[in-house]
Every structure is written in structure tokens, then in C-alpha cells.
Amino acid sequence: MELRNWRRWDWTIILSTLLLVFFGIVAIGSATHINQTGFHFSTLVVKQLIFFVLNVLVVIGLQFFDYHKLKNWANGIYIITILMLLAVIFVGTSALGAQRWIQLGPITIQPSEFSKLLMIICMAKMLSSRYEQLNSFKSLFIPAIYVGFPILLVFMQPDLGTSLVYIAIFIGMVFVSGIHMRLVRIMGTVGTLLMPFAWFILKDYQKQRILVFINPDIDPFGSGYHIIQSKIAIGSGTILGKGLFNGTQSQLNFLPENHTDFIFSVIGEELGFIGCSIVLMLLFLLIYRSISVAYTCNDKFGMLLAVGIGSMLAFEVLVNVGMTMGIMPVTGIPLPFISYGVSALTTNMISIGILLNISNQRTKYMF
């Protein structure tokens, strides 16, 4: 990375990311009642801010590094990922019926967040050597096992949401790897037919979430409560919103989990349609850029990395924002860059760092 080339940096990605994190920190502040006792920063805001600053340094640091090296480390990364996920199962702490966290000193980390990026790297390595060769079920066997194992581990935590993110990433990457369309059609059909059987492997609370998603009123005070209150929060924001820190739903705690999974509802309530549109626009720009970086990247590993990152972000936005508006079931997937959560923020920022790295090197090739 050379500073004199600053004009060629991907400013769309940089600015979108910075603005999104900024929105996120403000919204977390609101969700944690920053204005209620005088003007205090909750520890959550402080933590998120510190990690943001640290991650900016990491992202800058990543620019002095060639992402191609990751390809050589992929096997090691894979083993680390598996070990990390196993560690969660054996030494993790649980909350809300799931075991997802590992306590490391003052912070709790959520390995399944990091594992998403790590798996993108591993899958990119694996698929780059199979590019345009995925034309039979046999050829898909190895990649499926390779990805299936960590998915299974995440699913067993249980973390249905993250395992679905894995699948979304995998589909996105396999798709651009030139999988034969015939396979896509067959798998799509079989997958659809097998869908009802998936019901039997879900945990009770997961089934409940899906039932409630279909009709929140079957349990308006229990699992339906989140969805109902979230919809009220967003809808009541109307066009301009109730004003920052003035959302009644979030300030009076009608909205649960409002600094993590339901942060979008806080933005919807306080900043209205305008604020939400800006956030969605920024997210769209970021995802769009990752696709176009992938498209213009001349090396398959970089292309697959970028597509993986884009798929991950797109799926998370769809599921999270959809959930807050009642068109997706509650799965516990945070909104990238905005939800509170230092593991997710770190993962997403490092992803952006890698994306910038690819973007920069790509321009070098083009000259």
C-alpha cells in the first residue's frame, strides 16, 4: 500500500463502512439510554468504540499485507476454526438456550462470528482449485464435507442463524465458481422437497420461532413479543422518525434486545424512513462494491473471497432487517457494522480490510 495512491483507494467501501459503524454506535447509545441520566456513555458504547478504533488500525495494517498469503495458510486456518468451534461446545458459556461464547478475560468472544470469515478464506482456497469443475455430484462431495463439518458444529451449539450464513456463503461462492446449472436445479428441487424434514431436527425454541414468524399472534407475550414490538417501533417512526434518543419503544424498554439483534428497529423508530433508507443504501453500496471487486478481480482466490464476504453481508442484512420488520423469522443474526457485538464488528471490519486489500491489488493489476 502506498499512500500516494490514495485517490485509487476504494472510498466507497471506506466511507460506507465508517458511516455504518457511526450509525451503529449512535444507535447503541440510544438503545442503552445514553441521554437518560445526564449524558453517560454506557460500557457497551465504549467497548464498541474501542474495538472500532482497534479494528481501524487492524484494517490499515492489513493493507501492508498481501491477501494471497492467506491461501497458503488455509489448512491451518481450517484446523483452528474447527478447534475453536469444538472449544465452544466444551468450554463455552451459554445464554438464551445456546452455547456460543467463550470468556477471555474481560471480553466474551463469539467464535462462530470469526469462523464465518475464516471459513470464507478456507472455502475460497478450496473452490479456487475447483473453479469451473463443479459439474457433477461427485465433484461436490469433498467441498460439501469440508464445509459441512463446521456447519454441523455451529448448528449443534445450537446456532441455526450462523449455520444458515455458512450455507448462504457457500452457495454464493459455489455459484460463482461456475457450478453446473443442472446441479443447481437438481439440488434446488431436492432441497425444497427435503425442507419439511428439516423440521424434525430443529430444537423446540427454533420451531417456536418459525411458528411465531408465520403468525406472531400465537404467542404475543412470549416469542411473538419481539416481533410485534419491533414492528411497532419501526412503523411508528414514519418518515422522519421520532428524533434521536426520543423513541418511546426503545427508551421505555418495550423493545427487547434493542442494542443487538433489534438495533435496526431503534434506527427505524428514531430516524424514520429517511434514516433507514440511508442505512440500507450504505449496506447496498458495500455489498455492491464487494461484488464488483470480485468481478474485476483477476485472481480466483480474491474473487471468491470478495464474493464470500458479499454473500455473508447480503444474507445477514436480509435476515436481520427482514426479522425486525416481521418478514423473516427470528434467528439471532446481528446487523453487520451496526449491532452491538465486538466479535461481529471485528469480523466484519477485517472482512472489509481484506476486501480493500483485494480492491487495491486489483487496481495494480489493471495498470
List the one residue from 31, 45, 160, 294 that touches another protein (CB under 8 A). 294
Residue 327 in the binding site for another protein (CB under 8 A) = yes
| CA 5 to chain CA centroid, nearest Å | 30
Q: Residue 31 interacts with another protein (CB under 8 A)? A: no
The CA distance from 83 to 292, in Å, is 34
Residues 178, 182, 186, 187: what is their CA dihedral angle, to the nearest 10 degrees?
0
Count, in order, helices (H) and strands (E) of the chain.
13, 3
Q: Based on the shown chain and the rule CB under 8 A, indicate whether residue 366 belongs to the binding site for another protein.
A: no
- Distance, in Å, from the CA atom of 69 to the CA atom of 90, rounded to the nearest integer, reads 32
For the bound state, the minimum distance from the C-beta of residue 101 to another protein, rounded and expressed in Å, comes to 26
Is 187 near another protein (CB under 8 A)?
A: no
Kindly state the smallest distance separating residue 217's Cβ from another protein, in Å.
13
Kindly state whether residue 219 participates in binding another protein, applying the rule CB under 8 A.
Answer: no
Q: Are 229 and 221 in contact (CB under 8 A)?
A: no
The answer to whether 178 contacts another protein (rule: CB under 8 A) is yes
| Among candidate residues 34, 43, 27, 54, the one with its CA nearest the CA of residue 106 | 43
Q: Binder to another protein among 119, 126, 233, 338 (CB under 8 A)?
A: 233
What are the backbone dihedrals phi and psi of residue 301, each rounded to the nearest 5 degrees, phi first?
-60, -50
Closest to another protein by CB, 146 or 288: 288
Residue 24 engages another protein in binding (rule: CB under 8 A): no
> Would you count residue 310 as binding another protein (CB under 8 A)?
yes
Which residue of 45, 234, 335, 354 would you call a contact of another protein, by CB under 8 A?
A: 234
148: contact with another protein by CB under 8 A: no
DSSP state of 219: S
Q: Is 221 in the site for another protein (CB under 8 A)?
A: yes
Task: Compute CA distances 192 → 186, 197, 198, 330, whole Å.
Answer: 10, 10, 10, 21
Segment contacting another protein by CB under 8 A, of 9-17, 45-53, 187-195, 272-280: 272-280
Return the closest-CA partner of residue 87 out of 68, 102, 77, 72. 102
Is 41 among the residues that bind another protein (CB under 8 A)? no
- HSE, CB side, 13 Å, CA atoms: give it for residue 52: 21
Q: Is 318 in the site for another protein (CB under 8 A)?
A: yes
Distances (CA, A) of 123 to 177, 202, 270: 11, 26, 40
Decide if residue 254 touches another protein (CB under 8 A): yes
- For position 338 contacting another protein by CB under 8 A, the verdict is no
Q: Does 135 bind another protein (CB under 8 A)?
A: no
**Is 291 an interacting residue with respect to another protein (CB under 8 A)?**
yes
Contact 312, 165 (CB under 8 A): yes
**C-beta closer to another protein: residue 41 or 225:** 225
> What residues line the site for another protein (CB under 8 A)?
132, 172, 175-176, 178, 220-221, 225, 229, 231-239, 248-249, 252-254, 268-269, 272-273, 276-277, 280, 283-284, 287-288, 291, 294-295, 307, 310, 314, 317-318, 321-322, 325, 327
